[in-house]
Amino acid sequence: MKGRFYVVGTGPGDPELLTIKAVRILRESDIIAIPVSGTDFSGTYYEEEKETAVREELLERCAAWKIVRQAVPELEKKAKLYLSMPMMKQKDILRNIHDEDAKAAAGWLEKGKTIAFITLGDPSVYSTGMYLHHRIKEWGFDTVMVPGVPSFCAAAARIDMEIAKNREEIHIIPASYGVKESLSLPGTKILMKAGKKLPDVKEEVRSRGMEICMVENCGMEQERIYRSAEEIPDEASYYSLLIVKEEE
């Protein structure tokens, strides 16, 4: 009997936001799939094939792992499959890497193992795990998405702000690709993955007289909250989310 592939949303950072269902799936799965960031890592392998020091270094690169290990400490002893998930925009390179990742996971699914791929936030929102999910599903395996608390909902709660009311629209925007046209959309704008675009975003927001707040590393130890364009730095971590509203 073939195994099942889960993509498990871990929420944005606070381990208390991990859902009861996510905890159950993680405990029941045979293997935890660990997405490893960084372009210097390539290939996939099973935990037992590498030394402890190497495994610990790879785990440190995975933000989702830092969340689940606090909520479900027994996962430390569970088997793990490390998968290369570099943050880059070269589609051809990424396609090949994701193909290899999916093949590595499929090998264990063929043996009847259940795999839980952990991913920040919710699997349906800019999740790397979905690249594998689609491939594995096409190959005939059973796949399941386990929802998690989206980062923008957690960030809004953290700064005590409603994202939208009445008939207001909500727009979720990948800020790393430019936001000038997107900021003209009506309603609330959620800017994700701003990164190096922060100075451009701040300047555009100032010129339009809009309100902006940013939560960096929401729910994590390094969390920072900024409530105006003047407070927001020109550089911030990858896990920075901005909420932009029209002035009331």
Using the 3D structure, point to which of 112, 129, 146 is the last residue of a domain: 146
Q: What is the model's pLDDT at position 237?
A: 86
Report field, pTM of the whole predicted structure over 0.75: yes
d(CA 97, CA 29) in angstroms, rounded, equals 24
Number of domains the chain contains:
2
Cα–Cα distance, 196 to 154 (Å, whole number): 23
- Three-state DSSP at 129 gives helix
The residue with tokens 């339009």 is: 208
Q: Which of 90, 112, 146 is the last residue of a domain?
A: 146
Looking at the structure, tell me whether residues 103 and 197 fall in a common domain.
Answer: no
Task: Give the per-residue pLDDT at 56.
Answer: 81
Using the 8-state DSSP alphabet, how is residue 171 labeled? E
Q: 146, 174, 193 — which closes off a domain? A: 146
Domain identity same for 116 and 176: no
Mean pLDDT, all residues of the chain: 89
Instruction: For residues 16 and 63, state if they share a domain.
Output: yes
The pLDDT of residue 233: 92
Nearest one of 74, 88, 105, 92 to 39, comparing CA atoms: 88
What local confidence, expressed as pLDDT, does residue 154 receive? 96
pLDDT value, residue 48: 55
Instruction: Tell me what pLDDT residue 50 has.
Output: 52
Q: Are 125 and 10 part of one and the same domain?
A: yes
Three-state secondary structure readout of 17-74? HCCHHHHHHHHHCCEEEEEECCCCCCCCEEHHHCCHHHHHHHHHCCHHHHHHHHHCHH
* Domain ranges, residue 195: 151-245
155 and 142 in a single domain? The answer is no
CATH code for position 129: 3.40.1010.10
What's the pLDDT at 40? 60
| Same-domain status, 117 and 206 | no
Same domain, 134 and 186: no
- Over residues 112-157, the pLDDT tens digits come to 999 999 999 999 999 989 999 999 999 999 999 999 999 999 999 9
Q: What three-state secondary structure class fits 204? A: helix
The pLDDT score that the predictor gives to residue 201 is 87
Residues 141 and 195 in one domain: no
- Asked whether residue 86 falls in the same domain as residue 25, the answer is yes
Q: Which residues of the chain carry a pLDDT beneath 50?
A: none
